[in-house]
Structure 1
Amino acid sequence: MPAKEGCHPVSIARPRPTLAVVGGGVIGLTSALAAVDAGHRVTVHDAGTADRAAWVAAGMLGSLGEGHPGEDDLLALSAASVRRWPDLVARLGDPTVMAATESLFVAASSADAEYLANLAEFVWSRAPRSQDDLRRVDLAEIRRREPGLSSRLHSGYLVVGEGAVDNRRLLTRLRDALVGAGVHFVDERVGDLDDVDADQILVAAGLGTRSLVPDVALHAAKGEILRLRRTRWSVAQPARVIRARMHGRQVYLVPRDDGIVVGATQYEPLDESDAAPEVGGVSDLLADAVDLMPGLRTYRLVEAAAGLRPGTADGLPIIRRVDDRVVVATGHGRNGILLAPYTADKVLELLTDGWVAAGELSSTTEGVEPS
């Protein structure tokens, strides 16, 4: 029926789709932010456990540093996610979320230097980088760039554009951005997805995902980190991430405003309910860190913590649609913060496009997209 003269047709706005995010860790919060920016009405169900691993992390954004021979797919995902990080930091409106923008890989011995050389040849060469972004450095340049490091180091590599974020500041800014966008937080543990009132559900509950989506296969990997606080008598913290190979063991130093994060161990826990740090891991980290940077003796040990990271058999994250209503994003292992913006984009595709049928994806995305 035509509208009467002088009347205007009534426009009925379609309601925005609703999304419930189960899990308040970095994957859940970053995905929630992408969804709310895309027009979803979002509720986050957070029992306060999914963010444990992110809370004790160092926040490194190292696609090369996290690469190992045979992990080409993970390296491609990591590189794709690193390229997305500047946009995420800009969205959060706080450049101090970035803790460093470069990484210095150092070797304590000739054997350690050979290990780094093999890494450079078989892993790093697969990532597209200019000569200036990745280059070998000798001891003199290491000491010039980071005078607090040991004078007994052998050699290393400087990687530009591969830094770290302040993980705790990141989690705070993500929550601030979500609250500012009208996202509702519910402090509760979800026991059954049928009880969740939303058009779609994203399950990003870390190891807790297994109880909600039983066909998701995960195992726990335990990792310990230390937080050292600088005193007025201490040497300055490094200006960049220091990733060291110390006589066959790995240790890294990641700068913070008030000190350094030292990490990290990784092993299979005997009991997944035990998230306490172990003496052996803490002892090894302290010994290697002080050998790497002798001035750390004057720092204060203010925290020793451990997190349980959700891992998968092939090392790749699980980002897939379970059914018409449920999407899952978990299994990021040691790379949860690194892969957060990539995961958020993939989750948004699954939420909005609906082109993936339930059960069609395997352990990660449907093919690796480096863009």
Structure 2
Amino acid sequence: MTVHRSDPRPRALAVIGGGVIGLTCALAAADAGRRVCVYDAGPHARAAWVAAGMLGSLGEGHPGEDELLALSVDSVRRWPDLLARLGDPAVSAAADSLFVAGSSTDAEHLSTLAEFVWARQPRAHDDLRPVGIAEIRRMEPGLSSRMHSGYLAVGEGAVDNRRLIDRLRAALLDAGGEVVEQRVDDLGALAADDVLVAAGLGTRSLVPDVRLHAAKGEILRLRRTRWSVPPPSRVIRARLHGRSVYLVPRDDGIVVGATQYEPFDEASALPEVGGVADLLADALELMPGLRTYELTEAGAGLRPCSADGLPIIRRVDERVVVATGHGRNGILLAPYTADRVMTLLDGPAEAGRDEVATSTGGVKR
């Protein structure tokens, strides 16, 4: 039986996907009074399980990605409210980011990115400023003295991705939601008024007209020993020899990342030797004291990417909404995505079809 919008009962929402996007949307729906059930296929299906959790709007400013930059800035501004809702200060891993260049060529690359951000985000001049090697060393004495220069991005922090997932799930359960450990293969079999498909690459099999491609990324998790230098207090985003590497602090150590490339085989969830070797080499050049840390994990994940780099957030039919295609920015864009999904769920059933979210919070045909 069709449940009409005028029905006094709270509408039931089934969310396919137990990662950060699915859980953030589910929590927003539960807070709005909906009956919510999340279907979670497990950690192996979550792109956010292998992530550093950077909330880097300014750091994601690349020429040609104007809409993504504006979208990222919008979402970062929503993160304080989400963190307050979760009520666990330990979810936050760092408050600021320090960008460093290993050479004059690398510094020129960072300068190009900074100028792009300043040109499109006038307020960014207050939050993204140049720093020399002496100031870099004062802020983060564990970094190599051979760095060239950099930029400090104030307010561009990071969250602990796995603690975030745990807290989102706990908050959802406290709000009356439900989580079922189950893979869903047929949307028609779900007894819910509305369905949100936030299953990453798995969205393709449930909603075939959603076009996605995979980008594989590897990260390393390092654990501090009693002989180790302390981890940095900020996110460190470096450009070394034309490659990008970052160090993100955790309570017990550091997350090192990240590679990104199109995988030869999507069925393989194992990291490649070359990627791990590059990450270790660059991390040690950036922070020599990491030699005394323990390598506890080398992980790989598949990120769902859209053709234009923007997330796909749209209504498929009167019952189904999709939220996927966030690529490397799934955690960063989670609060924006939840707000956009709620707008689609609460609006007319015919609205929002075949649309993609844009930087202004509107839609692009």
Task: Name the TM tier (shorter chain).
Answer: over 0.9
Classify the secondary structure of the residue corresponding to 1:304: strand
Q: 2:12, 2:194 within 8 Å by CA — same for their partners in 1?
A: yes
CA distance in 1, matches of 2:153, 2:361: 23
Q: Provide closer, same or farther for how the CA distance between residues 304 and 50 of structure 1 changes in structure 2, counting only shifts above 3 A.
A: closer
Structure 1 residue 126 displacement after superposition: 1.5
Identity within the alignment, %: 74
Structure 1 residue 368 displacement after superposition: 2.6
Are 1:117 and 2:88 counterparts?
no
Q: Provide closer, same or farther for how the CA distance between residues 367 and 54 of structure 1 changes in structure 2, counting only shifts above 3 A.
A: closer
Mapping of residues 95-106 of structure 1, within 5 Å: 95-106=89-100
Q: 1:50, 1:205 within 8 Å by CA — same for their partners in 2?
A: no
Classify the secondary structure of the residue corresponding to 1:70: coil
Unaligned runs of 5+ in 2: 1-6
Kindly tell me the number of residue pairs found equivalent between the two proteins. Answer: 357
Aligned to 2:320: 326
Mapping of residues 118-197 of structure 1, within 5 Å: 118-129=112-123, 131-197=125-191
TM-score, structure 1 length as denominator? 0.93
Q: 1:278 aligns with which of 272, 295, 298?
A: 272
Q: 2:238 aligns with which of 223, 226, 244?
A: 244
Report the RMSD for the aligned CA atoms in angstroms. 1.6
Q: Provide closer, same or farther for how the CA distance between residues 366 and 194 of structure 1 changes in structure 2, counting only shifts above 3 A.
A: same
Pair member with larger Rg:
1
Are 1:369 and 2:361 counterparts?
yes
CA distance in 2, matches of 1:301, 1:273: 25
TM-score, structure 2 length as denominator? 0.95
Classify the secondary structure of the residue corresponding to 2:232: coil
Q: 2:317, 2:349 within 8 Å by CA — same for their partners in 1?
A: no
Aligned to 2:225: 231
Structure 1 residue 356 displacement after superposition: 5.0
Structure 1 residue 189 displacement after superposition: 1.1
CA distance in 1, matches of 2:44, 2:172: 17
CA distance in 1, matches of 2:134, 2:12: 57
Aligned to 2:63: 69
Aligned to 1:4: none
Q: 2:25, 2:341 within 8 Å by CA — same for their partners in 1?
A: yes
One-letter code aligned to 1:104 = L
Aligned to 2:31: 37
Structure 1 residue 260 displacement after superposition: 0.3
Aligned to 2:289: 295
Q: Provide closer, same or farther for how the CA distance between residues 163 and 113 of structure 1 changes in structure 2, counting only shifts above 3 A.
A: same
Are 1:222 and 2:216 counterparts?
yes
Structure 1 residue 365 displacement after superposition: 1.5
CA distance in 2, matches of 1:115, 1:174: 37
Classify the secondary structure of the residue corresponding to 1:237: coil
Residues 36-73 of structure 1 deviation map (CA, whole Å, 9 limit, x = unaligned): 00110001111115753111100000011122100000
Q: 1:163, 1:241 within 8 Å by CA — same for their partners in 2?
A: yes
